Structure 1
């Protein structure tokens, strides 16, 4: 079994220690380090190359958003960021996702939810729960209404099927759900997703969904 290596970045000692205990008890997950703030997190990522960083948004000095931006800025860095927040309506969540985070999780999540989130993000999937996705869609649509434009030049010359897959990704569907919807093999969907990410120069599905709404490439009904 491949072990998912995790770094926990939070300014609260009890939070770091608590998540460390919970995650180390899960099969296939190992906490390889802890960071006390954003600067420390960036340095630890460079030193330890974890698969996933559990990143608190609000930390003194360099916070989680800027740390996420620095970590995800380099295409050579494969580490994915899972943002930790106290409130699911935290306005900073949107900025964290724009900065490159692959998803977010509430700090009161159960051990099972925490482990699931780490595995999902490590696998390159988007961690956008259905109830959260609707709000994110509304927010991204609202914030980009003024400048929204189909912008064909930014579409990466997606095929009709790839655009269709992108639309379903933006709605929060998994590969299996997309495959069922389009009546194709799941491996075919994975191939489409890979091509979409390459064409749009994006890190993962979460960034693909954000790109779809912000550029107007995909327009959600009702917004």
Structure 2
């Protein structure tokens, strides 16, 4: 694609060699440059520092820790990297911890190869990638917090715009950014920006512990 035809560099972090190698092959075939792989927190941090990948695909279960710990370690070693969490499960605590640690988004391993390629491409440009499960969790937790009495000495809940709430609700229903854009007469990039803004707002609120409490008590909105 002209002068801008530069490969996106990617590191794949997963403790299963067959899955790690398979994803690396798929990404290479799709035109990405897989510059490193790793199976744990320490190896991921070392190799991120050495290769400075643009995107890090991060599994949640690693040989010497978890994906949230590895996300924090990788971003400390390579601050310009963007972390996209991939997990075989949608354990909500793990997802929220990874987001709190700085992950740009979350994708389940059951996603198709095309969805993975799209997610890596979006992540490389700094966009936030949500699966419906994570979007639903964030939306449900926001609703719960917005109806709770605000703590007198705590931070105020950030306000989501009507459009941000609408976009998040459609993501939670499983629509892609392009489908949402068509429905709302917006560009898919604008939709992704709304999602990223929402993620950033709720991260800054630093209420992950409240979200975990909601999950444990079973009062989130499935």
Please give the TM-score of this superposition, normalised by the length of structure 2: 0.68
Q: Is 1:66 the equivalent of 2:69?
A: yes
Q: Map of 1:182-193 to 2, 5 A cutoff?
A: none
Aligned length: 197
Distance 1:90 1:147 in 2: 24
| Secondary structure in structure 2 of the residue aligned to 1:91 | helix
Paired residues of 1:102 and 1:206 also in contact (CA < 8 A): no
* 1:170/1:69 CA distance change after superposition, 3 Å: farther
**More deviation, 10-19/85-94:** 85-94
RMSD: 4.0
Unpaired runs of 5+ residues, structure 1, are: 197-203, 216-221
* 1:115/1:209 CA distance change after superposition, 3 Å: farther
* Aligned position for 1:201: none
Please give the TM-score of this superposition, normalised by the length of structure 1: 0.68
* 1:107/1:147 CA distance change after superposition, 3 Å: farther
* 1:55/1:206 CA distance change after superposition, 3 Å: farther
Deviations 1:184-210 (A, max 9, x none): x97xx69xx6xx9xxxxxxx6464143
Q: Is 1:5 the equivalent of 2:22?
A: no
Q: Map of 1:35-46 to 2, 5 A cutoff?
A: 35-46=38-49
Paired residues of 2:95 and 2:134 also in contact (CA < 8 A): no
Unpaired runs of 5+ residues, structure 2, are: 208-219
Q: Map of 1:106-121 to 2, 5 A cutoff?
A: 106-121=108-123
